[in-house]
Amino acid sequence: MSGEGQCIVVGCGGAGCNTVARLRSISDMPALTINADSVSGCDIVMAPEDVRGCRGDADLGWALASDFVDEISRRIADFPAVVVTAGLGGGTGTGAAPIVAECAASNGSRVVAAVSVPMGFEASRRRKALSALPRISETADRTVVLDIGMIPDMDSLLRADEAVRAADELLCESIMRISDIMHGPLLSTMPDRFYTMAFGEDRDPAKAAIKALSAPMCSADQAGRTVVHVDRQLQDDERADMVEAICGRTNHYPEVFCGRGRGETAGVMLFIPILAHEVF
């Protein structure tokens, strides 16, 4: 797998593999999947034929991934940027994601972890997920967190399974945009350690940005420095209006990245620093 100048996304565990499967269906971004389920059809199977996952045991997930460090490192070695994605709170993703981040960092790659945490009613899984975040952030340069419990705030009629699906779509979208941002100076562009994402869509990019600011996917620091990724090119006046709208809410001049699309509607994703003391 050759990755000169590219970013690879590595999905860990069931949720991470689902995100990568969705990503592969809409993008040609290089990807790798890692799981402990022998029938999952993933790229690296960390278990014998008779094993079906880690059954929520993150320590087992960590131990299995540790046995595959050489293979993981080899498969991602040619990529200067790595996005590690997982749904935290279970066994395989929670245990394996920090190992993958360590492998990428040891290779000298920039590393962003894009992870989700369960809803509040999944109390034990949520506690496990939140306790895993500091471990991942020890190695990842930046960590982007999506709290699935925030999804119903966008649409109160969603069932739990629909919220999980919506979260997966949003996480997939964020990964593609993160990969664009990682082509530049990541650490100065995103100076904070933890971020969440927010998405808005409108013909007017300024209105899309305001919609996004009202619906962050974790407890966000609205006064923090926001990074903006728009999925299409902007006219000078559109950019100016959008920046002014964001500055009016955050008192900070945002960093703006534009995709290559040319549609009438602008999909605006914001990456906003997290109020870590309210989350962890």
SS3 content of the chain, % helix, strand, coil (to 5): 45, 25, 30
Handedness of CA 29, 168, 42, 74 (dihedral sign): positive
Q: How many domains does the chain fold into? A: 2
Classify residue 266: in a domain, yes or no: yes
Look at residue 1 in the predicted model and tell me its pLDDT: 55
CATH number of the domain to which 258 belongs? 3.30.1330.20
Look at residue 49 in the predicted model and tell me its pLDDT: 65
CATH number of the domain to which 25 belongs? 3.40.50.1440
Taking the C-alpha atoms of residue 84 and residue 94, their distance in angstroms, rounded to an integer, is 11
Look at residue 266 in the predicted model and tell me its pLDDT: 93
Is residue 211 within 8 A of residue 200, CB to CB? The reply is: yes
Look at residue 96 in the predicted model and tell me its pLDDT: 96
Look at residue 40 in the predicted model and tell me its pLDDT: 65
Tokens of 41: 């059809």
Look at residue 2 in the predicted model and tell me its pLDDT: 56
Give yes or no: residues 180 and 226 share one domain: no
Averaged pLDDT, groups of 10, the chain, 280 residues long: 76 94 94 85 80 81 94 97 96 96 97 95 91 93 94 74 89 95 91 95 97 91 87 96 95 91 90 76
The count of other CB atoms within 10 Å of the CB of residue 26 is 11
